[in-house]
Chains A and B, each alone.
Chain A
């Protein structure tokens, strides 16, 4: 059935539409601020004149490739192209600084495609079990997941634990700006309508990474920089040894990312953060994470594309969007006369298989295109730094404006850029701030929502299995590293004695 569907979509016209979608998605994804959601939303009306298979070829192409291409700008210019690629900046940019440009781009492409394909396989094999599992996530589980994600503030801070924590908590503080999630009470809004929805997360992210990085580079002593940065592309494919190293964390990450994708309201940003954290804990070289770890880049690349299959699962089986892009895609499906839900799997099984086949074909297109364009993408490093600065500033302004057509967002972006610059100069990691801004509202609203469900009983977080497991994992991940390093030190001192 699936094979039949694949053969069906392997028509030249569908291939061309798919390629067009992938190319558009690549551009939209690589530009900071322009997200997959926006790309799909804008092109949706244009695809109504096409056959359903052709239209979906374009839209799914954009979806997959925008997430993948977000990693390219994260790796090359340290500015995530989409929120989902935020965790890729941790290791990707460091790898480029080490001169492993080709490898970083290659890993992004190969593992993104792997993530996309594996999650599609999950969708094919276990759509209904995954969706039903995702529904088990109620407010207490979201809370526990948020706390688990927040625990990464510590591991991403490296040696600067106090500084990482302080900027992270500052992010949490700023995440309380806006309408209170339970009672809709305006908090710290200064009676400004723009402030009611809180600090716009994407604008703050673009500013911190984009503008912050440019200002930092301007004030950088550039004589030393010239020497360290080689511009050779180098090998693209990871060696077999590197591949083996990443196999286990990637297998686990793909399961995590499919589940996080399937949970309504959580997307690639959270998935890649959680997977990075998970991989660091399991790794034999946790010290490399954040300093250019191949494992770190591999799991994050895999995780943000792995979300797609999960999000599609929830969308197709239950008719509930798994993330922002699928919210738009639901509309397109309905335009083609499909009502997402179990009925669709029975009444329009061929259509469902078509979607799955398109996801597979789209990912293979990305694989080919990604590997072929590695060299082209890496040309961006040959461009004079000054030109890159101008382009980054320009696109940061445009990108942050384009999200909501809001000049307020641009101002937040610039202010976040200045904060990011100050933080970078002070050796403060900016990741925790963005992380907190993203997870703060999830943690707060679900904490209070859970208590509303339990009538104020705090035990609700511990009596539900998934929530309990997540909280225990959080505690383990917080204690594991200090404890293990303590024991290492102990055994080391014994040896020296």
Chain B
């Protein structure tokens, strides 16, 4: 189970349930205010475009309140980042960073370069041996390029 009992204080020790609840409450309020602007239903009783979004958003609002109340009473901390080892934090952040780099490279260069960077970078982050890492990234990048571009007719370019 990922949940751990509260130990220290800090930004991540804030109750995630409450934050999630507040986020959803705000989301539902935004949804309702926007939906009110949609044209209404027809004269013969067909509900308009805003009907369903408002219904769902109201339901979400009620549930968010329940979650906020429930969460503020519980002592469970989900994102106890301080309990994660340094390694894990580094890996997590690097993974996200490399995916971003992949996107940028894919857009400005070609798929193969981006994919090589993605796989090699992830392999480095996850501490694969250099040899395995090179084999994996080369095989994956060129293999997927061939299969997707040539066999599956996927257009592997963004521009």
Interface of chain B residues 49 through 86 with chain A (CB within 8 A): 49, 51-53, 56-57, 59-60, 63-64, 66-67, 70, 78-79, 84
Nearest CB of B to A114, in Å: 30
Cα(A34)–Cα(B153), bound, Å: 12
Q: Assess whether B105 is interfacial by the CB under 8 Å rule.
A: no
Nearest CB of A to B40, in Å: 10
One digit per residue, 1 when the CB lies within 8 angstroms of any chain B CB and 0 when it does not, for chain A 411-440 equals 000100000001011111000000000001
Report yes or no: B57 in contact with A448, Cβ–Cβ below 8 A. no
Nearest CB of A to B62, in Å: 9
Q: Assess whether A390 is interfacial by the CB under 8 Å rule.
A: yes
Q: Assess whether A398 is interfacial by the CB under 8 Å rule.
A: yes
A183-B39, A391-B140, A407-B158 known; A170 vs B126 contact (CB < 8 Å): no
Residues of A close to B95: CB separation below 8 A: 214-215, 218, 389, 393
Report yes or no: B2 in contact with A425, Cβ–Cβ below 8 A. yes
Cα(A424)–Cα(B95), bound, Å: 18
Residues of B close to A233: CB separation below 8 A: none
Cα(A65)–Cα(B46), bound, Å: 43
* Chain A CB within 10 A, most for which of B53, B79, B119: B53
Q: Assess whether B26 is interfacial by the CB under 8 Å rule.
A: no
Residues of B close to A215: CB separation below 8 A: 92, 95
Report yes or no: B144 in contact with A398, Cβ–Cβ below 8 A. yes
Residues of B close to A427: CB separation below 8 A: 1-3, 78
Report yes or no: A386 in contact with B88, Cβ–Cβ below 8 A. no
Residues of A close to B7: CB separation below 8 A: none
Cα(A148)–Cα(B155), bound, Å: 39
Residues of B close to A394: CB separation below 8 A: 115, 118-119, 140, 144
Residues of B close to A395: CB separation below 8 A: 144
Nearest chain-A residue to B151 (Cβ)?
A: A42
Report yes or no: A182 in contact with B28, Cβ–Cβ below 8 A. no
Cα(A423)–Cα(B126), bound, Å: 23
Residues of B close to A173: CB separation below 8 A: 27-28, 31, 53, 56-57, 60
Nearest CB of A to B144, in Å: 6
Cα(A97)–Cα(B119), bound, Å: 27
A166-B60, A187-B38, A407-B158 known; A180 vs B119 contact (CB < 8 Å): no
Interface of chain B residues 80 through 117 with chain A (CB within 8 A): 84, 88, 91-92, 95, 99, 102-103, 107, 115
One digit per residue, 1 when the CB lies within 8 angstroms of any chain B CB and 0 when it does not, for chain A 131-165 equals 00000000000000000000000000000001101
Cα(A444)–Cα(B52), bound, Å: 7
Cα(A366)–Cα(B91), bound, Å: 40
Nearest chain-A residue to B44 (Cβ)?
A: A455
Residues of B close to A390: CB separation below 8 A: 119, 122-123, 126, 136, 140
Q: Assess whether A451 is interfacial by the CB under 8 Å rule.
A: yes
Cα(A440)–Cα(B59), bound, Å: 14
A218-B91, A218-B92 known; A187 vs B49 contact (CB < 8 Å): yes
A219-B92, A448-B47, A456-B46 known; A176 vs B66 contact (CB < 8 Å): no
Q: Assess whether A287 is interfacial by the CB under 8 Å rule.
A: no
* Chain B CB within 10 A, most for which of A214, A218, A410: A218
Cα(A405)–Cα(B3), bound, Å: 39
Q: Assess whether A48 is interfacial by the CB under 8 Å rule.
A: no
Nearest CB of B to A276, in Å: 23
Residues of B close to A398: CB separation below 8 A: 144, 148, 154
Cα(A220)–Cα(B89), bound, Å: 11
Report the count of interface residues on B (CB-CB < 8 A). 64
A162-B67, A173-B53, A402-B152 known; A424 vs B2 contact (CB < 8 Å): yes
Cα(A91)–Cα(B37), bound, Å: 43
Nearest CB of B to A414, in Å: 6
Residues of A close to B59: CB separation below 8 A: 169, 172
Q: Assess whether A188 is interfacial by the CB under 8 Å rule.
A: yes
Report yes or no: A414 in contact with B99, Cβ–Cβ below 8 A. yes
Q: Assess whether A90 is interfacial by the CB under 8 Å rule.
A: no
**Of B38, B53, B60, B78, the contact of A426 (CB 8 Å cutoff):** B78
Report yes or no: B79 in contact with A172, Cβ–Cβ below 8 A. no
Q: Assess whether A38 is interfacial by the CB under 8 Å rule.
A: yes
Nearest CB of B to A140, in Å: 14
Cα(A455)–Cα(B41), bound, Å: 12
Residues of A close to B144: CB separation below 8 A: 394-395, 398
Residues of B close to A405: CB separation below 8 A: 154-155
A173-B28, A218-B91 known; A183 vs B48 contact (CB < 8 Å): yes
Cα(A402)–Cα(B95), bound, Å: 22
Cα(A447)–Cα(B64), bound, Å: 25
One digit per residue, 1 when the CB lies within 8 angstroms of any chain B CB and 0 when it does not, for chain A 440-474 equals 10001001100110011100000000000000000
Report yes or no: B154 in contact with A169, Cβ–Cβ below 8 A. no
- Top 10 A-B residue pairs of the complex, sorted by shortest distance between their CB atoms: A456-B45, A386-B126, A180-B49, A176-B53, A185-B49, A444-B52, A166-B63, A169-B60, A402-B154, A172-B56
Q: Which residues of A contact B (CB under 8 A)?
A: 34, 38, 42, 162-163, 165-166, 169-170, 172-173, 176, 180, 182-183, 185, 187-188, 214-216, 218-220, 384, 386-387, 389-391, 393-395, 397-398, 401-402, 405, 407, 410, 414, 422, 424-428, 440, 444, 447-448, 451-452, 455-457
24 example contacts (A-B, Cβ-Cβ < 8 A) are as follows A34-B152, A42-B153, A162-B63, A162-B70, A166-B20, A166-B24, A166-B60, A169-B59, A173-B28, A180-B38, A187-B38, A219-B92, A386-B128, A390-B119, A397-B102, A398-B148, A401-B154, A402-B148, A405-B155, A425-B78, A426-B78, A427-B1, A427-B3, A447-B52
Query: A176-B56, A447-B47 given. 8 additional CB < 8 A pairs?
Result: A34-B152, A38-B152, A166-B21, A218-B91, A425-B79, A426-B20, A426-B78, A427-B2
